[in-house]
Amino acid sequence: MAYDFLESAVKQFEYYKQLGEKSFLQVSDEQLFWQYNKDSNSIATIVKHLWGNMMSRWTDFLTTDGEKEWRKRDAEFENDIQSREEMMRMWNEGWECLFNAVKPLQEEDLGKVVYIRNMGQTVTEAINRQLAHYPYHIGQIVYIARMAAREWKSLSIPKGQSIDYNKEKFAQPKRKQHFTDEYIDKSKKNES
């Protein structure tokens, strides 16, 4: 059961990482830095915040507080990334830090207590906390990208296609399968 949780958590992190990346591909460089107003965040700023959070939370995950002294959270919301390449470097560095911390975890690690701002929680709770936080921000990225893109390619079931989608799903036999498998698998096939 615990292994299922860890495997599912990794798959969900991979899925949301992919949603962000598919959104980046649908907008211009200029649109990555667009802000609706001075109080809103651009896609690049949201990436910068995710990077800061990931680097802080997942560096020495089991042994140090998840809110590192070196983190400059307020600076994460300054819209000062200069290029798509810089944004992607931060994006990939953050996710690499996360996966390097989560993938080696074992069942016996899940009940260990880790701290974020001196508040203890189990490893399971800490993972769940980030599985809520990151999709929240990636949803913002998708929404901004969808508004900005000239032609949007749906990242899930396109409008008006739910009936056909469900018909295809229910035509298949019942099976145990993680919901992200079809999205990750399709993506990997498209890369080939």
pLDDT, tens digit (0-9, with 9 covering 90-100), for 100-132: 999 999 999 999 999 999 999 999 999 999 999
Domains of the chain, each with CATH number or no CATH: 2-191 (1.20.120.450)
Residue 45 φ/ψ, nearest 5 degrees: -65, -40
CA atoms within a 13 Å half-sphere pointing along the CA-CB vector of 121: 15
Give yes or no for a contact between 180 and 14, defined as CB atoms under 8 angstroms apart. Answer: yes
Closest CA to 14 of 157, 124, 135: 135
Q: What pLDDT, on a 0 to 100 scale, did the predictor assign at position 184?
A: 66
Decide: helix, strand or coil at residue 151: coil
Cα–Cα distance between 17 and 91 in angstroms, integer? 9
Phi-psi region at 91: left, alpha or beta (left = phi > 0; alpha = psi -120 to 50): alpha
Residue 191 φ/ψ, nearest 5 degrees: -75, -20
pLDDT, tens digit (0-9, with 9 covering 90-100), for 13-40: 999 999 999 999 999 999 999 999 999 9
For the record, the structure tokens of 124 come out as 């399971």
Q: What pLDDT, on a 0 to 100 scale, did the predictor assign at position 39?
A: 92
